[in-house]
Structure 1
């Protein structure tokens, strides 16, 4: 009996490019979360991703394009994760609160704050924010069905975002108590009965 060996398939250029971009985007998110926008330089992302400066600049010619693409990458991943969970049809507003947590929210918050005074970053972020808002509206409609009007869903998204911003000044325990206290009031405000 002869043993047949197979040579591993060589990755295509498109696969290598996608892998490099993913490493760079993951490194950018990691840097935004750990060292903030000010510390997320192209050199820092280069170091974390382990790619050449030329490779990074080929895919992302500016810092703004890099960090916006990184958050966009994470938004896509996070939305797919939330929407792929088994659903009961009884999902509550807790899903929105959870959506505004973790590395995605931390990275986005860094960019929002920096965009206040950085015109180039703000300009680059406007299409991303539109995409995020649209994704939240579509995801919310898919999760909640017709339980909430589009306006109620939009208001709920803004409340969840505001709660997440104020979370940075509370301990995890205090935040859980705060959310547990406010969530019933929020739900009562949207009660249609």
Structure 2
């Protein structure tokens, strides 16, 4: 005798909404990384996410709100990823340099450059930059404890960001050589007596 099968549980509206938002945000990040800000149109995101234009506009009424939310979504995911790794308690600045790499950095860089000439985007990015700064502060506090002062961490974040921007023009081997050369100097500057 076969047992009756249960119908699959129907997802709640909140679950469907969360799934749709995640599809849209992931598609937006992918578009920013793959084709840049200029080509990351709502039509391109619709195509990549496989959702209706109405669904996209319901969640994100403007292009600016869409791209800013996508990068914010990625910031939270990237911070959780970095902080969930096994730690030794002696993490170095390399992890900070690594935080400024990959899709998060590429997508954020697209927005920073576009915001230079786009006032609406620049206005929309300001809260995102605060979110990024807050995430970096939380991450650095958890990774480094009280090893560095707030000013040393702020300087280190700016150095890591600058290295990431200039990395665009270096080969991976040249980038590794530069980091191997600069990291000991950087660490020495932060050494307390």
TMscore range, shorter length = over 0.9
Give how far 1:104 is off. 0.1
Question: 2:21 matched to which residue of 1?
Answer: 21
- CA deviations over 1:17-46 (Å, ceiling 9, x no partner): 100000000000000001000000000000
The yes-or-no answer on 1:107 pairing with 2:85 is no
Structure 1 moving runs of 4+ over 6 Å: none
The yes-or-no answer on 1:157 pairing with 2:164 is no
CA distance in structure 2 between the aligned counterparts of 1:138 and 1:88, rounded to whole angstroms: 18
The yes-or-no answer on 1:96 pairing with 2:96 is yes
CA distance in structure 2 between the aligned counterparts of 1:174 and 1:136, rounded to whole angstroms: 26
CA distance in structure 2 between the aligned counterparts of 1:2 and 1:36, rounded to whole angstroms: 55
Question: 2:37 matched to which residue of 1?
Answer: 37
Give how far 1:169 is off. 0.3
Question: 1:85 matched to which residue of 2?
Answer: 85
Give how far 1:173 is off. 1.2
Give how far 1:101 is off. 0.1
Give how far 1:180 is off. 1.0
Give how far 1:59 is off. 0.3
Question: 2:189 matched to which residue of 1?
Answer: 189
Aligned residues: 193
TM-score for the superposition, normalised by structure 1 = 0.98
Which sits farther off after the overlay, 169-178 or 107-116? 169-178
CA distance in structure 1 between the aligned counterparts of 2:35 and 2:146, rounded to whole angstroms: 41
CA distance in structure 1 between the aligned counterparts of 2:21 and 2:135, rounded to whole angstroms: 22
CA distance in structure 1 between the aligned counterparts of 2:129 and 2:58, rounded to whole angstroms: 24
Give how far 1:134 is off. 1.1
Corresponding residue SS for 1:72: helix
CA distance in structure 2 between the aligned counterparts of 1:162 and 1:178, rounded to whole angstroms: 13
Structure 1 unaligned runs (5+)? none
TM-score for the superposition, normalised by structure 2 = 0.98
- CA deviations over 1:124-165 (Å, ceiling 9, x no partner): 000010111011011101100010001101110000000000
